[in-house]
Structure formats: structure tokens, C-alpha cells
Structure 1
Amino acid sequence: MKQAIQERFLISPFLVFFVIHATQVGVGALNFQRPLMKEAGQDAWMAVLMAGLAAHVLIWLMYRLLSHSPSGGDLVSLHEQYFGRWIGGVLSLGLLFYYALAAFMVLQSYIEIIKVWVFPLIGVWQFSLVFLLLTYYAVSGGFRVVVGLCVWGVVIPLLTIFPMVFFPLEYAQYRNLLPVFDHSFGQLAKASKEMVLQYLGFEMLLMYYPFLKNAPSSQKWAHAANAFTMFIYFVLILISVVFYNKEQIQHITWPTLTLAKIPEVPFIERMEYIVISIYVLVVVPIITLSVWAATRVVKQLFAVQQRRSLPVLLACLFAGTLFFQEKTDIEQLTQWTAKAGFYLVAVYVPLLYVYVWMAEKVKKALQQKP
């Protein structure tokens, strides 16, 4: 059985709000409108709400699942308890690869934005090296340092970037929202599946659950974070629908970033440069938390300290940036991450919960037999 984590390493339940919201609103918030409006047109806002409600159900399911873990442990402990050392270890390795893939996808996507919009002549490896060094500094400081980054990654962008998206309403065409309910449930469901990637991030809970003081009481904050994420995406999709039309948005790579070009400030000619710069505070917490979760899996599986596995993982991520530099490769990487995240939270977690629930029922029935 895993040793209990010392109280000085734990965080208060309300900080779950910042951790989950910081990991849900990432690079995808800059271009999520295109696939949604391609499938659901002006009804894309319904897909945002449907996917958000599904995320609420999955968060509730994760808390129920983790409550069965020994001593309030993580998913690795749960795997070992119900599947044994070897099968559980293989399942946990899959979790390790997913967290590493998520960190790599966010890193590459943000570097692509910087290269296209700001520094087209600087090499990818230079940006990658800077971000990975920041990641090393944060993760080596421990989980509480990573949580501190998440707090700032929510507060500062919310006060600086989010107000800018309301400026395009001056040119809004509200008739673009009509006709309402013009798409079938199948089309909305397909659009909701496209939206899954934007709500991912709460699956990190599977690893940092033991670091929460009175973990069950943090569930309300997790749901509050997801609800706030729903509100952010709902506002963004509504503004995008009334500002762009269905055909126009398919030719814009980053619709949200283009909206940031609308505000006019006398002493700043390119407002999107400011947005991209501040967006570092959005991206770095996601990368650091994903890397922390991956190294935590390594520690639980192989009893290797996180500070020792961290440089190896970061070196692998850095090497990967040398091979994934083309736009098509990054788009393929994003699709892989979306599929992996979808199967993890929408397929594997529910099936695992059913298995654990049935195993507990059988165990209780056997214990009650004379």
C-alpha cells in the first residue's frame, strides 16, 4: 500500500477550481470554432453545452472511481489493487504515454502559433528549449508550485485577454444565429465529440487526487471549474457565430486570435502580439501539470524519484519537437491526442468504474456468506 502524502504537500480543495480550469482552456480555445461550425453551423453553441454537460458527468464518475482507491490514492494505485502488479502496470503505462502526449501536443501547437504570428524565422528547437527549461524549474519545485502556476494562468489571462473578445460585437450580425435547431441530433453529437479535446484537462485529477485535502469535498470546485469553462467557450462560440459566417470561418486558422485584432489601441498596432505573449501563462501550466502527472506515474510504477525521471521525459519531448514541425504533423498530433483523451475519459473511465463497482459487490457478497 502506498504511503500517505505529508500534509505540507497537500493543497486546499478550492484550488481544484484553478487547476482544472487552467488545463481546460488551452491552445484549442484559439481555433475550436472551425470543426464545430463545420458540423453544426450556427447551432455550434449547443455542441459546446452538450460536451460541457458530458464533462460534468465524467468528473462525477472520476470522483466515484477514485473513492475506491486504497488510502485515497491515484489511478495507478487503483490499477494495482484491482488488476495486480503486471496488468495494472501495463494500464498505467498507457496513462503515462497519454500525459506525455498531451504535454507534447500543447507545446507544439503553441510553438506553431508563435512561429506563424510573431517569429517566423526562429527555429522550433529554440522555443522548445525555453519552455522545457521553464517546465523543469516548475515541476522540480513540486506539485504546489505547479498549482501556483495554474492560479496565475487563470487570473491574469482572464483579466487581460477575455475582455478583448467582446469588441467584435460592434460588428455583430445577430441573424447569423438563425435558424435555431436547424441541425439533427447526430450532427450535434458529432460536433460535441469534436469539442471533447477542449474540455480535456480534468483527467489530470486521476493523478493529483491524493494531493487534495479532504479530496471528496473538492468535487464541487471541480464542477464549478468545468461550468466556468463552459461559460468561456459558450461566449467565444456565440461571438464567433455572430461575427463570422459558416463559410468564412473555415478559411481562418485561429478565429479567436483573429478576434483579438479588432480592438484598436493608439500605441499598439498589433494587439494579437500582446495576446500571444500573455498566452504563455495559459500554456505553461498545462505543460507543467501534464509533465508532473507523467513523472508521478513513473514514480508510482518504478519507485523512481520525479526529479530523476523529469530530465529524461523532457529530453524525449525536446527530441520530438525536431520531428514534428510541419503543420500537417501538428494537426495529426492533435487528432491523436483528442482520440486518446476521448477514449480515456469517455470509454475507459466508465468501464473501469463498472468493473470496480462489480468487483466490490462480489467482494461484499463473498464476505457475507457463512
Structure 2
Amino acid sequence: MNKTQNTFITSSEFTLFLLSSFIGIGSLYLPNSVIKDAKQDGWIGCIIGAVYPLYILVLANYTCNKFPVDDIFGLSKKSLGKILGSILNFIFITFFIFITSTEIIGLANTFKVYATPFLKNYQIFLSVITVTAYTAYKGMKPLGRLCEITFYLALILLLLPVATLKYGTYLNLMPVFGSGFKNILISSKETVFFYCGAEIAFFTYPFLEDKKKLLKCGFTSTVITMSVYTWFTFLTIYYLGIEISPKYLCPILTLADSINIPIINSFRYIFISLWGLVVLRCISIYYFSSCYGMNRLINKISPQTFALILCPIILFLSSLYGPPTRRRYYTGKIMSFYLIYNLIYISLIVILITFKKGGNFEKK
């Protein structure tokens, strides 16, 4: 991938790289996940859920300060031994392969339901995998630049739904904290799934030009993501209310229907097409992470080769999830496992590198 080991990205590229890993297809139906428990206070759960990525990024910053040129794959082998470290690394890598496949089927389902019902799944799969595999093949630097370009597109799309403020009512948000703090905490647990992506920092920080800015970059990307999720959820509750919103698969697309632009018949199709580019960026990052991780696991096979090898595997996995409701059910179950595993895995490595000191460990 363009000699990734010799590639360095700027602080802004790293910030948008992390930001792009957060915001995927799930943001279109996030409001329903928090409304289920927190009702009209769902938007507060989005704020509390940001604790997870901040925790991960604080640990990544600590690891970067101690071992600025070693990523988590190398530190795992140093701390736990080659065999056990490689096994745990592989499970960690499968997380990114899983996210890649579920984002692809999520994008395909959204397009089939809301825009292109005449297309078959495999037609969308092949189009998406071709673009994302090629982007991942080119490497981190082009991917970082792509994140910068699409950021401005995403920013426009995030601001457009403000038009719904004209039609909704603040009564849908009342009473604030009326659902109870316990239910708000439960809803924040649901948002943690949507905040997954901060784990990427543990093997991309060696390529950050100014490593002292890692925490700043991570904090900025997390705050922006939190603002997006809170904004989307707030608008959904304000416009649709907690009774109507769950009736839609993707309530955010319903907000797009409220935008009236002269000459344009339905703004929904434009919104979903442009948002598809944002999701493609997210999939490309996870695809790149999968290829890079597999290369760190099996050094003899280049990341470029893995970009080709993973294509049929990810296509097969994407075909297993089924329709939207079934996909979300299984994704929630699997994500619960990965969330717990990632927390334990990352925390364990950080603890071990904290207490394992000495020349031999440093030189491994």
C-alpha cells in the first residue's frame, strides 16, 4: 500500500481519518436505538456514549508516548508472546473485517429500500467492494486525503436537516430527564456500538507526523462525532417524536423528505446518494485496517495482496446478514462480543506495557 511504513499523515488527516471511521451507515438509524430506552432524552445518551472512544483514545495516547513506533500488534507479541499475541491480534483484526461486511450490507439494504429497489444485492456489493478495495489498496495517505475531501460534503449534509426545525415542536423533547437517569445510561450503552472505530488509533499512530497531537486529534474527532449523533437524534425527536420515529427503518432519511428545494422532486434521493459517499469512505477505512492488520499478522503477504484476498471473504460475509431488521439483530449481538473483547484486549496490553520494563522488553 504505497510502502505504508514510510507513509506519514498530518494531524488534520489523522483527525478526519478517525472521524470517518466513526460515522457510517448506522448514523441513519441511531435515533431509534436510543429512543427505545431513553425516549425523549435519547439525545443525552449520545453525549454519554462518547466516554467509550475517549477512553480508548486516552489509552492510545499513553501507548504512543511509551512506544511511538510500535503499534498494538507488535506490543501484543512483546507482552504475551508470539503465539498468544498472534491469536489475540487475529481476533482483533476480525473486528474490522466484520465491520466492513456489515457496513456494506447496511448500505445495500438502505439503497434497496429507499432508492434503488430494482438492484440486486450482489450488484451493489460488487460496486462497493471494487471502490473500497481500490481505495484501501492505494494506502493510508490517499485515504487520508479522501477523508479531508469528503468531510466538507458530509458537513453540508449534516447542516441541511436544520430545515426540520420549522416543522417540529419542542414539546416532543419534554420533559427533559423525564425518562430517568438509569434509562439514559442504558441508551448510552447502545450508542457505544456506533462509536466503535477509535481502536484504529492503536495501529495508525506510528504514521502520525506530530505524535504529541494524537490526543487532540482524537478528542476533536470524538467531539464532532458526538455532536453529529446528538444533532441527528435531537432533530429526529423534535420532528417525528418518540412514537413515530421507531416506525421508520432510517428516520434520518425522513428528515431529508422535509427539505423542500425548488425543481427537485424529492431531496431524499440526493441525500442518500451523497451520504452513500460518506459511508464508502468509512468502509474504505475498515477495509484498509483489515488488510494492514492481516499484513502485520502474516508479514510474507503484502497488504496489496490482502486487498485482493479479502474481497471474496467480505462479499460472502456481507451476503449472510439478510434484510435490515435481521442484520441489526445479529450485528448487535456480535458487536456486544467485540466491544467487550476490544476493551479487555486493549486494556490488558496497556497494563502489561506499563509494568513490563527493562532493556530486553524494550528491544524485542
Task: Tell me the distance in 1 between the aligned counterparts of 2:318 and 2:218.
Answer: 32
1:253 aligned partner = 249
What is the identity percentage for the equivalent residue pairs of Structure 1 and Structure 2? 20
Task: Tell me the distance in 2 between the aligned counterparts of 1:221 and 1:331.
Answer: 30
The yes-or-no answer on 1:358 pairing with 2:355 is: yes
Decide whether the 8 Å contact of 1:103 with 1:290 is kept in 2.
yes
1:77 aligned partner = 74
1:55 aligned partner = 53
Decide whether the 8 Å contact of 2:79 with 2:349 is kept in 1.
no
Task: Tell me the distance in 1 between the aligned counterparts of 2:179 and 2:356.
Answer: 42
1:324 CA displacement = 3.0
Task: Tell me the distance in 1 between the aligned counterparts of 2:131 and 2:28.
Answer: 23
How far does the alpha carbon of each residue in 1:65-118 deviate from its partner, in whole angstroms, 9 at most, with x for none? 34444x522110111110111000001101111110011111110110001111
Which segment is superposed worse, 327-336 or 203-212? 327-336
Task: Tell me the distance in 1 between the aligned counterparts of 2:200 and 2:131.
Answer: 20
1:206 CA displacement = 1.8
Distance 1:326 1:292, change over 3 A: same
Give the number of aligned pairs. Answer: 358
2:305 aligned partner = 308
Could you list the runs of 5+ residues in structure 1 that have no partner in the other structure?
Answer: none
1:337 CA displacement = 4.8
Decide whether the 8 Å contact of 1:98 with 1:340 is kept in 2.
no
Q: Which amino acid aligns with 1:163?
A: L
Distance 1:271 1:95, change over 3 A: same
Which segment is superposed worse, 251-260 or 346-355? 346-355
Residue pairs, 1:156-235, within 5 angstroms: 156-159=153-156, 161-235=157-231
- Give the match's secondary structure for 1:250: helix
Task: Tell me the distance in 1 between the aligned counterparts of 2:55 and 2:316.
Answer: 37
Distance 1:237 1:329, change over 3 A: closer
Could you list the runs of 5+ residues in structure 2 that have no partner in the other structure?
Answer: none
RMSD of the alignment, in Å? 2.2
Task: Tell me the distance in 1 between the aligned counterparts of 2:253 and 2:137.
Answer: 32
Structure 1 ranges of 4+ moved more than 4 A: none
2:322 aligned partner = 325
Q: Which amino acid aligns with 1:91?
A: L
Distance 1:337 1:289, change over 3 A: farther
- Give the match's secondary structure for 1:122: coil
Distance 1:336 1:208, change over 3 A: farther
Q: TM-score, normalised by structure 2?
A: 0.92
Which segment is superposed worse, 56-65 or 252-261? 56-65
Residue pairs, 1:280-319, within 5 angstroms: 280-303=276-299, 304-319=301-316
Q: TM-score, normalised by structure 1?
A: 0.91
Decide whether the 8 Å contact of 2:56 with 2:198 is kept in 1.
no
